[in-house]
């Protein structure tokens, strides 16, 4: 045993971004070399881009040799303990996920605390020429895992038209079927190309998606529309300081991850609530985007 630690991250783009402060704390204070493993082998480009400059090694699950490690630290999305024969040093924080940000939960998992924004994160990504405003209507379609279309904001087209009428250039990013009508088409690009565009834009308008978390990691101003998802979990005042959250306060909202509620509550309740959480006013969103143009 080498005294080496293993830091375990999940597959979501936003989830991985929100593990970086915890890793940096562990790497700085533990006195041990720390490797990172993407447990699901999905979105491994992000794992490498975030962690290659920081970690001793970045691995896939099949590359991990448990007997080389003194123990593992499980982040929020990896509480299932993928290596049952390896000692777990982290604290189980899943029960707090409806009231504490994911960034802070990951820090709590390693008994860490916030020590400032991780400087230099993704600085090597070049900024390319981009419209003033980029829109990511993430989850406009059903994903392979769960129908997340409740996170898609139906006001994007009107917001885009209003912004264009004010003289701003507006483009869309994401998958081909996430193009917002009336905007310049930058959909279908590689993730790296999309990140360069975000870095070159003045503001990103997005729902609660991985692109929002990446924009914050690159210090790009963004306006993020929350529908059913929980800003207490998915927005951190320290890490997401470039973001302006727009949402409706409803008695039933947010329904993501409430204690005693399964994570598909928005699917079961649609016939009752008609997904009113998506009716975030366009006026407030457009105002926030225009304000964000000033940095």
Q: Is residue 118 part of a domain?
A: no
What pTM, to 2 d.p., does this model score? 0.92
The residue among 77, 109, 141 that closes a domain is: 109
> Does 100 share its domain with 144?
no
pLDDT at 267: 66
pLDDT at 65: 94
Per-residue pLDDT tens digits of the chain, which is 295 residues long? 468 999 999 888 999 999 999 999 999 999 999 999 999 888 999 999 999 999 989 999 999 999 999 999 999 877 678 899 899 999 988 888 888 999 999 999 999 999 999 988 999 999 999 999 999 998 756 554 556 778 889 999 999 999 999 999 999 999 998 999 999 999 999 999 999 999 999 999 999 999 999 999 999 999 999 998 889 999 999 999 999 999 999 888 887 655 445 556 666 776 678 888 999 999 999 999 999 998 6
> Does 147 share its domain with 288?
yes
What are the b/e assignments for 30-58, b being 16+ CB within 10 Å? Answer: bebebbbbbbbeebeebbebbbeebbeeb
Cα distances from 37 to residues 24, 40, 51, 105, 130, in angstroms, run 15, 9, 10, 19, 33
Q: Is residue 152 part of a domain?
A: yes
> Does 146 share its domain with 288?
yes
> Does 159 share its domain with 88?
no
pLDDT at 141: 62
> Does 180 share its domain with 279?
yes
pLDDT at 259: 43
> Does 102 share its domain with 140?
no
Query: Residue 201 maps to which CATH number?
Result: 3.40.50.2000
The residue among 109, 142, 165 that closes a domain is: 109
> Does 194 share its domain with 232?
yes
Q: Is residue 120 part of a domain?
A: no
> Does 266 share its domain with 175?
yes
> Does 156 share its domain with 252?
yes
Owning domain of residue 226: 133-292
Beta strands, E only, the chain: 4-9, 34-38, 57-60, 69-74, 133-136, 170-172, 184-185, 203-207, 222-225, 243-246
> Does 145 share its domain with 260?
yes
Q: Is residue 115 part of a domain?
A: no
Query: Residue 44 maps to which CATH number?
Result: 3.40.50
pLDDT at 144: 47
Q: Is residue 70 part of a domain?
A: yes
């Amino acid at each position: 045993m080498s005294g080496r630690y293993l830091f375990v991250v999940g597959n979501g783009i936003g989830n991985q971004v929100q593990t970086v402060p915890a890793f940096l704390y562990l790497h700085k204070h533990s006195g041990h070399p720390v490797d990172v493993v993407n447990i699901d082998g999905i979105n491994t480009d992000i794992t490498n881009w975030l962690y290659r400059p920081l970690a001793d090694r970045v691995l896939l699950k099949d590359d991990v040799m448990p007997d080389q490690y003194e123990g593992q630290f499980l982040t929020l999305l990896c509480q299932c303990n993928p290596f049952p024969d390896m000692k777990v040093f982290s604290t189980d924080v899943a029960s707090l996920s409806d009231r504490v940000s994911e960034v802070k939960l990951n820090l709590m998992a390693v008994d860490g605390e916030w020590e400032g924004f991780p400087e230099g994160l993704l600085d090597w990504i070049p900024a390319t020429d981009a419209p003033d405003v980029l829109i990511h209507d993430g989850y406009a379609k059903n994903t392979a895992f769960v129908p997340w279309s409740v996170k898609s904001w139906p006001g994007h087209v009107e917001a885009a038209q209003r912004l264009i009428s004010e003289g701003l250039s507006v483009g869309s990013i994401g998958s081909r079927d996430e193009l917002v009508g009336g905007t310049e088409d930058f959909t279908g690009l590689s993730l790296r190309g999309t990140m360069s565009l975000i870095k070159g834009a003045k503001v990103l308008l997005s729902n609660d998606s991985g692109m929002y978390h990446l924009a914050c990691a690159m210090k790009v101003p963004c306006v993020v529309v929350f529908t059913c998802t929980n800003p207490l979990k998915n927005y951190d005042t320290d890490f997401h300081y470039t973001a302006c959250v727009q949402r409706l306060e409803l008695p039933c909202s947010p329904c993501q991850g409430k204690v005693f509620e399964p994570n598909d509550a928005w699917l079961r309740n649609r016939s009752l609530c008609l997904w009113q959480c998506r009716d975030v006013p366009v006026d407030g969103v457009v105002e926030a985007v225009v304000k964000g143009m000033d940095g």
